[in-house]
Amino acid sequence: MMTGEEYRKSVNDGRETYFRGRRIHNVAEDPDLGRMADHVAAAYDGWYQPGVEARNPLMMPPSSPEEMRERMPLWSRLDVLTKVTVGSLSTLMTVAARTREQDNDTADRITAYVEDARLRDIRIPQCITDAKGDRSLRPALQSDPDAYVRVVDRAPDGVVIRGAKLHISGASFGHDLMVIPTKRMKPDEGQFSIACMVPVSSPGVQVVNVGFSPTADEREQPGSWRHLVFDGFVMFNDVFVPTPRVLSDDRPEFSATFAHSLGIWERLGGMVHQVDQAERLVGLALLVAEANGIQKISHIREKIDELAIFATILRAGLEAAVSNAHESPDGYYYPDELFTNAAKYYGAASYSLMVRHLHDIAGGSISTVPGVADFDNPDTGEGLRKYMSTSPTVSGEYRARLFLAIRDFTASDFGGWNQVGVLQGGGGLFAQRVVTRGKFDFDAAREMALDEAGLKEFL
Amino acid sequence: MMTGEEYRKSVNDGRETYFRGRRIHNVAEDPDLGRMADHVAAAYDGWYQPGVEARNPLMMPPSSPEEMRERMPLWSRLDVLTKVTVGSLSTLMTVAARTREQDNDTADRITAYVEDARLRDIRIPQCITDAKGDRSLRPALQSDPDAYVRVVDRAPDGVVIRGAKLHISGASFGHDLMVIPTKRMKPDEGQFSIACMVPVSSPGVQVVNVGFSPTADEREQPGSWRHLVFDGFVMFNDVFVPTPRVLSDDRPEFSATFAHSLGIWERLGGMVHQVDQAERLVGLALLVAEANGIQKISHIREKIDELAIFATILRAGLEAAVSNAHESPDGYYYPDELFTNAAKYYGAASYSLMVRHLHDIAGGSISTVPGVADFDNPDTGEGLRKYMSTSPTVSGEYRARLFLAIRDFTASDFGGWNQVGVLQGGGGLFAQRVVTRGKFDFDAAREMALDEAGLKEFL
Amino acid sequence: MMTGEEYRKSVNDGRETYFRGRRIHNVAEDPDLGRMADHVAAAYDGWYQPGVEARNPLMMPPSSPEEMRERMPLWSRLDVLTKVTVGSLSTLMTVAARTREQDNDTADRITAYVEDARLRDIRIPQCITDAKGDRSLRPALQSDPDAYVRVVDRAPDGVVIRGAKLHISGASFGHDLMVIPTKRMKPDEGQFSIACMVPVSSPGVQVVNVGFSPTADEREQPGSWRHLVFDGFVMFNDVFVPTPRVLSDDRPEFSATFAHSLGIWERLGGMVHQVDQAERLVGLALLVAEANGIQKISHIREKIDELAIFATILRAGLEAAVSNAHESPDGYYYPDELFTNAAKYYGAASYSLMVRHLHDIAGGSISTVPGVADFDNPDTGEGLRKYMSTSPTVSGEYRARLFLAIRDFTASDFGGWNQVGVLQGGGGLFAQRVVTRGKFDFDAAREMALDEAGLKEFL
Amino acid sequence: MMTGEEYRKSVNDGRETYFRGRRIHNVAEDPDLGRMADHVAAAYDGWYQPGVEARNPLMMPPSSPEEMRERMPLWSRLDVLTKVTVGSLSTLMTVAARTREQDNDTADRITAYVEDARLRDIRIPQCITDAKGDRSLRPALQSDPDAYVRVVDRAPDGVVIRGAKLHISGASFGHDLMVIPTKRMKPDEGQFSIACMVPVSSPGVQVVNVGFSPTADEREQPGSWRHLVFDGFVMFNDVFVPTPRVLSDDRPEFSATFAHSLGIWERLGGMVHQVDQAERLVGLALLVAEANGIQKISHIREKIDELAIFATILRAGLEAAVSNAHESPDGYYYPDELFTNAAKYYGAASYSLMVRHLHDIAGGSISTVPGVADFDNPDTGEGLRKYMSTSPTVSGEYRARLFLAIRDFTASDFGGWNQVGVLQGGGGLFAQRVVTRGKFDFDAAREMALDEAGLKEFL
């Protein structure tokens, strides 16, 4: 396993990565990007164990529903990249189990890769979403054939890929990119049916980073600092991938298995995150109602209750998914997809109203409260403290920082990034609907409705 | 145990019950009310076992979460009064367990009553909601002291009660009324702290029945026929209750225990019902979309998906409540209240939108489709069948009856009764919020928010 | 002009009309249908003026925005059929103005018909919606060619039509049916491009009536009695229509003009109705909150405020439509369609939530309050009055009847019919969207967004 | 009148103003704050006319509804401070008209001030919201008496005030601060009943600025640049105000007149802004749907339609308010408050859902699209352009900048500031409800409901 320091060195490998128009030469030491590397390194240090036998125990899917439930609070505390890696490796194990019957070799290759990745203790960003070009046309019919990542050349020792993958969390901070097809490919789309593990430092890989970079000190932007993430726009400019790292090539029949397996784990992680976030909203609403002295007003209380109900329903979705977890052929457990999807949809669809409740309770000071530098300035600090206080027990600085935190979490660059993430994470409302559609027992509902309507004779 | 026929005879006991201004002399044979007696009788026959040792197994709380889960589909098929009775007896067992430590006698009296009730195989409506008078005043301060049911006289062999209880499902069809306080009473409200079991036939008990009485044949009103219920407005005009049937009198400290214990079971039953209902809505929406030939249009599909998500979230609430069931001191299991409440709130708050989706998909024929008598009439039937058909595979009569069923379930006397019940059952949105408020871990949310806001120092 | 009595006689003309499987021989005297005839007759009496020159002034489109505004409260008080007739004649005048330039004859024929209809003072139901068959196929491609009303034969003196029209308000109570195409027809759909005025008593016309027929006395069902309407399912079984009553035949280019002209007036009438209804909801919510004594609780007040905002927005839509009324070529004024549509969409989409607010405020007694017969019965009336009262100033009978009214308007056969009507009237949410789409200035919005996004260079 | 350059000089007057902990010595030249001064200066140049008789015509309330309607597009193009000043002067004219009957002197003093302000062509920020302290206590009962701005000393030539005013748009950029009471004061709250005009440069006035300061170039943050505003937290540390600038002191009976008069104009300006914003959302949604190639998918189209309906309803509210404008005693016109309030409430309550629709249509690239610097960088620009393009007619750079604009307007520091402003502007949802409550004709609604419920006898 790696320590945080070893991790930092490991990513200083010449990778071609950019931020705001600048080429970044060492992501771990860059003043902007380096902050995310710090988070990843801290998780390395937190889970480090010496010895060649050592493995991070999170890096395998849970072997029982109970284990799944026990791990959830641990995930909550992981940085995004480590969390993503848990998902990547769980995904690969799921793919191996699902493909083994049809193709033992693929399953073995994947399993071997996972073993090696765990041994090397690497981090693995997930590259799924393609550029996509014209949404009304499938990959093989695009005017630019590179709209979906594809194999442009094959050689005995590997393949050459071209294309781009979008929305890649932590792309510049991992070691291998898990490149998988974004959707089910048709029989004539073998060139797009490529799943492979690509070192970030491979020649031809370019990552353009995008992220909310906090501009003030941590007291003013607690969320931006703690949850800071850089997403990558990853371009593969004819990148050579050696055969051992090609998990599947030219097998359209396997193309959907990767994204689908990933979906299972991504939604679980997403739900844990949503529940955390919902509970944070409840807490912020309660704190600011109390700081404003309005927590007992009936319509304020109603809004706080609705936030608590929101958080509880999300947790119910998670609980139901875990209680109804399914066993995979190789003895691992994955959460029930119908429940995670429905809850995720509900959470994403309701989030903006919940933020409105919080803003309604908090008031305009979310936007207009002065920053910590103004409180630190002795010429203005005293007055600000005086006037931001609402009673002898609510200090002006505390209340101001509460507003700053609400701003940071819900009405800022970070808040906006987060809001889009809640909605679009895991594929957007539409994707959740599609999975629900696939898993909901519509036949049972139809039959029950016919029975209740007295129309069974027409069945 | 009783057979259906024995049940019919048992309620022909001179009880004073009314419907639409008429005194009803035998509820089991009345052309309107008799239909509900038929449903109750059918459940008697369905669960009947001969022998003095026989007991209906549903009439005890579940002894494990698994048993709870197994029983849920059985409950779905019960008539309302039998379902209510399961709740009444479970409530009493829960009260006994909760009061045993403080007062062994009360607990014994309750347990003995439950034993006897199971032996006699009786049905027990629940009388909770009082007339209430002025909502801003507590019971002891009302201008009419009878606004809450109270003891107006005490004698060595029993008590005399006066007052009214509202919204009593099946009041005219049970044997004993479980009369319990509607809320926590103050120390000076001993006269209102009365819990007792009152035979419906007791002198002074008057029940005024209210119900949607189907006016057309069963094919036209499948829901009204199957789910028909009469609610009672029950007046206690100085009714004598003998001591053995007085569960608790003048003990304000126990007053809230009854309603609270009932709340646990009522919400579980309510959730099972809501899930069934939600799945029925999904089924009806799907069937009518198919019958209209619009099931593949994207925005129609979105509405059906949202209905399926709605149903899944309700089921998730139920699953989470059962998976997190709690054990009572006497070894029974009751569902987690936070999950049932939050889901019930969500279900009640969302129901009207879900019905709107169904109506949006179905179209105006919900209101304007002719009835079955018009289809039966040979002068009009042929034309109606021709014009209600949308394709060779969708018969006009089938489609018409589907509209009639949708009308009956969602846009009729029964539909209105049902809609109000979804919203107000178990105490209305406000009551769900109050329970959520009592059960949600606000301290954890507050602490988490302080941590995330970087404000732990202010804790 | 006709008196009410003359009207009653005029509809006793042998028309073939049905209700609940029965052939009705005289709609004016039938115990069920007669109630609607009473409403129509009352409006005749109310507007009656003697003399051959007399005309009902409402039966022409308004000649200024002011006149439009003045008439709105008059419309509110009209029965449905008279209101429909105002719309029918306004529609025809609009069609005449729109077609005059292309075809003077058609315009003249229509104008002559309108003159004659005003002189005869007849009532004219609107027949638009066809049976439609398979929604994914246009009229000419249906397996049953009669899915849309069509001309099956042409003779020198007239045409013969076949098909059905659905959702026809007051079909059995009018004199002539205004039969017009439901949509724009293609060039090969001349047989479906038929607009004609068909006397209800024409041989081959069959009307099957559907309606919520009040079952209790007027005090218990004030809405059902006052707003009672029978909708007709109208079948045209090879009905001969003489040439003077054929407004347009085999002219696909005019097919959409009729429905579109009607849309303008229908939406105006619909908006007036929605505003009335919204204000009624506000009033009922306020009254029941007061009767329950909860009108000052903050979250109750919030719901009443939201109802008032809902009503105000609907009125704003109406005000904006009238203030921005457009003049037709013949000097009449019609309301702006964008505003009426957007408001109608909002009103229809929000209605179910507003009813939920009302039900939330009112409580379960909507469903369980006893009826007036129980109050009339001396054995139960006194007790009911006592227990339904909430304070010395709120009588029990008043409060009970308020609940009965709320039930009748929002949770009954009539309430369901009304709810479907709010949603589906004027074509449903989808139809409002389509009109909005056609009228909203998307180009301006696009240009403004490009400007604001700093992307004008890409225009 | 002043030119832009004269304005710049005029605000370099030693005012004590701060930003992010720094004292700013000349707001017009500061790299951050100066940008807002640029906007203000541009409006000066735009409206400049030479000569002593010259006055900015916008700086008087409209003298007819038509003039009000004509000015609305002009307001849309004004910077915030100039817009605010229009409101300030209109407010003062309204106050003068309303107080004249009771107190001619006050009215004259106000009128004289307005004349002078127009002559000097100054800008006047509005200082209303106080620090407020404990929300459950009125001003006179606060533990810190300075929680509401108050007069701490009176002298023959003026008064001395102390306290703070929050959320003051453009406080550092105006000349005089219009300081007025935030609410109706009680008879014993004379010290808080102070309305006066305070030069920003008065000794003791401190302004702490808060604002979203764009960090990237204008192409990347078009909204942040164009709509940039700095809000001030304004502290009055025993500030002397000379008598001619004291509009009203110690007259609790006038205290509410100021805020109320301001409300009228603020809501009109707010509505114009909301309509603009809504149309911008429609445009952005349409553009991004087209750029993504999904504009014809039915559920996408539904969301765009709903945005258009949202924009239309807001415009209807504005149209209704202007069409129903009221004349003040001095011949000016102000918009109807009920309509502006209801529309503002609707707009504020619905805004977050509308943004969700936009985000749903746009997709995750809102957050993850690289910035313009990455497009400018030749090493990455070409690839980004290739992969952001969706078809030969949609250039990658155009589409990327569209995402950047959507991010900037709805998911950024500026977007968050704007979202809070939409919700809280004009006092928040609660304030809109309170005004609606005061203006809606509840008596008419109550009476109509009693009539419809058949309960007029109980009136």
**Domains contained in chain B, CATH given:** 4-120 (1.10.3140.10), 126-250 (2.40.110.10), 257-446 (1.20.140.10)
Residue C153: how many other CB atoms lie within 10 Å: 11
* Residues of chain C found within 8 Å of residue B430, distances taken between Cβ atoms: 299, 360
Say whether D342 and C447 touch across the interface (CB within 8 A).
no
Q: Above 80 in pLDDT, residue A88?
A: yes
The whole-number pLDDT of residue D60 equals 86
Say whether C454 and D401 touch across the interface (CB within 8 A).
yes
Residue A392: how many other CB atoms lie within 10 Å: 9
Q: Above 80 in pLDDT, residue C459?
A: no
Mean pLDDT rounded to a whole number for chain C? 95
Section D73-81 average pLDDT = 92
- In Å, how far is A344's CA from the nearest CA of chain D? 14
- Beta carbons within 8 Å of B73's beta carbon, 6+ residues apart: none
* Residues of chain D found within 8 Å of residue C412, distances taken between Cβ atoms: none
Q: Above 80 in pLDDT, residue D459?
A: no
Say whether B365 and C166 touch across the interface (CB within 8 A).
yes
* Residues of chain B found within 8 Å of residue A445, distances taken between Cβ atoms: 279-280, 282-283, 286, 308, 311
Helix (H, G, I), strand (E, B) or coil at A107: helix
pLDDT-derived band at D181 (thresholds 50, 70, 90) equals very high
CB B33 within 8 A of CB B19: yes
Name residues of chain B where pLDDT drops below 50: none
Radius of gyration of chain C (CA): 24
Say whether B363 and C428 touch across the interface (CB within 8 A).
yes
The whole-number pLDDT of residue B127 equals 98
The whole-number pLDDT of residue A458 equals 82
Helix (H, G, I), strand (E, B) or coil at A455: coil
pLDDT, tens only, C399-415: 999 999 999 999 999 99
- Residue B380: which of C146, C206, C430 has the nearest Cβ? C206
The whole-number pLDDT of residue B379 equals 98
CA-based nearest residue in chain B for residue A345: B309
Q: Measure CA A80 to chain center.
A: 7
* Residues of chain A found within 8 Å of residue B313, distances taken between Cβ atoms: 313, 316-317, 342-343, 346
Map tokens 């902007």 to a residue: A32
Say whether A164 and D419 touch across the interface (CB within 8 A).
no
pLDDT, tens only, C295-311: 999 999 999 999 999 99
pLDDT, tens only, A421-445: 999 988 889 988 999 999 999 999 9
pLDDT, tens only, C88-104: 999 999 999 999 989 99
pLDDT, tens only, A266-316: 888 889 999 999 999 999 999 999 999 999 999 999 999 999 999 999 999
Say whether D458 and C398 touch across the interface (CB within 8 A).
yes
Which chains share 3+ C-beta pairs under 8 angstroms with A? B, C, D
Q: Above 80 in pLDDT, residue C12?
A: yes
Note the helical H segments in A363-441. 365-368, 372-376, 378-388, 396-410, 413-424, 428-439
- In Å, how far is A323's CA from the nearest CA of chain B? 7
Position with higher pLDDT, A212 vs A180 = A180
Say whether D222 and C401 touch across the interface (CB within 8 A).
no
Interface mutation target, options D297, D298, D306, chain B, most CBs of B under 10 Å: D298
pLDDT-derived band at D458 (thresholds 50, 70, 90) equals confident
Size of the A and D interface in Cβ pairs below 8 Å: 244
Question: What share of chain B has pLDDT > 90, as a percent?
Answer: 91
Section A369-388 average pLDDT = 98
CA-based nearest residue in chain B for residue C215: B215
pLDDT-derived band at C121 (thresholds 50, 70, 90) equals very high
Q: Above 80 in pLDDT, residue D26?
A: yes
Which chains share 3+ C-beta pairs under 8 angstroms with D? A, B, C
- In Å, how far is D300's CA from the nearest CA of chain B? 8
- In Å, how far is A387's CA from the nearest CA of chain B? 18
Interface mutation target, options C230, C419, C429, chain B, most CBs of B under 10 Å: C419
Say whether B299 and C22 touch across the interface (CB within 8 A).
no
The whole-number pLDDT of residue B65 equals 92
Identify which of A337, A345, A347 has the alpha carbon closest to the alpha carbon of residue A433: A345
- Beta carbons within 8 Å of B72's beta carbon, 6+ residues apart: B272, B318, B322
- In Å, how far is C57's CA from the nearest CA of chain B? 31
Say whether C339 and D319 touch across the interface (CB within 8 A).
yes
The whole-number pLDDT of residue B149 equals 98
Q: Above 80 in pLDDT, residue C116?
A: yes
* Residues of chain D found within 8 Å of residue B301, distances taken between Cβ atoms: 299
CA-based nearest residue in chain B for residue A319: B320
pLDDT, tens only, A193-204: 999 999 999 999
Q: Measure CA D69 to chain center.
A: 19
Question: What share of chain D has pLDDT > 70, as a percent?
Answer: 100
CB B398 within 8 A of CB A455: yes
Interface mutation target, options D452, D457, D458, chain C, most CBs of C under 10 Å: D452
The whole-number pLDDT of residue D299 equals 92
Q: Measure CA C135 to chain center.
A: 24
Interface mutation target, options B296, B298, B304, chain D, most CBs of D under 10 Å: B298
Section A2-15 average pLDDT = 98
Say whether D445 and C343 touch across the interface (CB within 8 A).
no
Size of the B and D interface in Cβ pairs below 8 Å: 11
Say whether B134 and C293 touch across the interface (CB within 8 A).
yes
pLDDT-derived band at C267 (thresholds 50, 70, 90) equals confident
Which chains share 3+ C-beta pairs under 8 angstroms with C? A, B, D
- In Å, how far is B188's CA from the nearest CA of chain C? 22
Q: Above 80 in pLDDT, residue A137?
A: yes
CA-based nearest residue in chain B for residue D296: B298
- In Å, how far is B102's CA from the nearest CA of chain C? 35
pLDDT, tens only, D235-276: 999 999 999 999 999 999 999 999 999 998 888 888 999 999
Mean pLDDT rounded to a whole number for chain D? 95
Say whether C436 and D309 touch across the interface (CB within 8 A).
yes
pLDDT-derived band at A213 (thresholds 50, 70, 90) equals confident
Per-residue tokens: A264: 């299972």
Section A16-42 average pLDDT = 96
Position with higher pLDDT, A458 vs C73 = C73
- In Å, how far is B103's CA from the nearest CA of chain A? 35
Section C166-187 average pLDDT = 97
Mean pLDDT rounded to a whole number for chain A? 95
Identify which of B5, B7, B30, B6 has the alpha carbon closest to the alpha carbon of residue B17: B30
- In Å, how far is D73's CA from the nearest CA of chain B? 36
Say whether A367 and D421 touch across the interface (CB within 8 A).
yes
Interface mutation target, options A336, A452, A456, chain B, most CBs of B under 10 Å: A452
Map tokens 């599909």 to a residue: B301
Say whether D319 and C320 touch across the interface (CB within 8 A).
yes
Say whether C424 and B363 touch across the interface (CB within 8 A).
yes
The whole-number pLDDT of residue D303 equals 96
Section D319-330 average pLDDT = 92
Chain B residues with CB-CB distance to D under 8 A? Answer: 297-299, 301-302
The whole-number pLDDT of residue A426 equals 81
The whole-number pLDDT of residue C268 equals 85
The whole-number pLDDT of residue D269 equals 87
CA-based nearest residue in chain D for residue C405: D453
The whole-number pLDDT of residue A145 equals 97
